[in-house]
């Protein structure tokens, strides 16, 4: 159950039924000591069984209680030893999510995602002219080429650099239980799942982090924690490809002739300024 409570920049944010408001949470926590989970070195999750090195990245079976519980976690080693198909490839993508600006929740009719660009006059300081066709179908074009090259090169996985959903991340309020992933604005289903649904991309894991827009961009109370919770999503359309166990984490990867450690770092602190800061990238303003 969701309740509409805010509309900004043409996007509607939803509050999940029974969820406390930020004011209610703050009143409840007044006088209590809040200890953020800020890990300073990698650690192993005891709930993930160690064993034979697999060719898929592994996380615990059930989601943690809080979205920050696994901060700094080191996933078990993942091995890509099969060299029979030639050189190995990894896809890297960022700033990719389109904008769902209209839908009918009753009929489930959803308008195709629009490109998040600067062709509207609202972007006065860095406005640019629209390039017809290219701008209109930008995300579709990228998806098409990803499908083409995935079929050709058979990549091992996708590294996702963030800014997955524009303009303000997942349009639900943050703070929902980690086992209650929501998609009232059809963003997970239409901006991610169905957009990259070709056969060549099926089963290909997406390992990512949050961008400033995923934190809400201009509204830090949006559902940034949903990007972590979706790792364990049970929604009927979830393909199980999405993987982000925490805000920052480490993935050791082995190949037949070399190994590497991939560090997924959350650098959004540089966009977290004083509330009254009017800079264009202040996620706290």
Alpha-carbon distance of 284 to 261, in angstroms, equals 32
Query: Sorting pLDDT into bands at 50, 70 and 90, what band is 278?
Result: low
Q: Is residue 173 within 8 Å of 14, Cβ to Cβ?
A: yes
Please state, in angstroms and as integers, the Cα–Cα distance from residue 204 to each residue in 62, 99, 160, 197, 274, following that order.
Answer: 21, 23, 12, 10, 39
Query: Sorting pLDDT into bands at 50, 70 and 90, what band is 37?
Result: confident
Please state, in angstroms and as integers, the Cα–Cα distance from residue 205 to each residue in 104, 156, 172, 242, following that order.
Answer: 30, 8, 24, 6
19-23, 64-68, 234-238: lowest mean pLDDT where?
19-23
What pLDDT score was predicted for residue 116?
A: 76
Q: Give the mean model confidence (pLDDT) for residues 15-42.
A: 63
* H or E stretch covering 227: helix 226-229
For residue range 139-174, what is the model confidence (pLDDT) as tens digits? 999 999 999 999 999 999 999 999 999 888 999 989
Q: Give the mean model confidence (pLDDT) for residues 257-274.
A: 92
Alpha-carbon distance of 108 to 58, in angstroms, equals 33
What pLDDT score was predicted for residue 9?
A: 44
What pLDDT score was predicted for residue 214?
A: 93
Query: Sorting pLDDT into bands at 50, 70 and 90, what band is 10?
Result: very low
Q: Give the mean model confidence (pLDDT) for residues 261-270.
A: 94
For residue range 93-117, what is the model confidence (pLDDT) as tens digits? 999 988 887 677 777 777 778 777 7
For residue range 45-70, what is the model confidence (pLDDT) as tens digits? 999 988 899 999 999 999 999 999 99
């Amino acid at each position: 159950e969701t309740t509409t409570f805010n509309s900004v920049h043409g996007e509607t944010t939803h509050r999940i039924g029974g969820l406390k408001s930020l004011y209610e949470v703050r009143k409840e926590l007044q006088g209590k000591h809040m200890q953020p989970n800020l890990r300073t070195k990698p650690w192993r999750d005891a709930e993930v069984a160690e064993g034979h090195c697999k060719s898929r990245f592994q996380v615990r079976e059930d989601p943690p209680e809080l979205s920050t519980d696994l901060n700094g976690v080191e996933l078990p080693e993942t091995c890509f030893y099969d060299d029979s198909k030639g050189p190995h490839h990894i896809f890297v993508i960022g700033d990719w999510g389109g904008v769902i600006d209209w839908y009918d929740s009753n009929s489930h009719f959803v308008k195709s995602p629009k490109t998040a660009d600067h062709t509207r006059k609202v972007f006065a300081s860095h406005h640019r002219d629209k390039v017809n066709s290219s701008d209109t179908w930008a995300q579709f074009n990228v998806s098409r080429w990803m499908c083409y090259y995935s079929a050709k090169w058979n990549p091992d996985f996708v590294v996702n650099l963030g800014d997955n959903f524009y303009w303000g991340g997942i349009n639900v309020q943050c703070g929902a239980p980690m086992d209650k992933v929501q998609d009232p604005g059809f963003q997970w289903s239409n901006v991610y799942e169905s957009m990259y649904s070709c056969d060549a991309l099926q089963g290909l894991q997406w390992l990512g982090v949050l961008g400033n827009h995923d934190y809400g961009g201009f509204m830090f109370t949006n559902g940034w924690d949903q990007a972590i919770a979706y790792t364990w999503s049970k929604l009927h359309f979830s393909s199980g490809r999405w993987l982000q166990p925490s805000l920052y984490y480490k993935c050791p990867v082995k190949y037949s002739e070399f190994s590497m450690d991939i560090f997924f770092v959350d650098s959004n602190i540089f966009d977290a300024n004083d509330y009254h800061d009017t800079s264009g990238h202040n996620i706290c303003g």
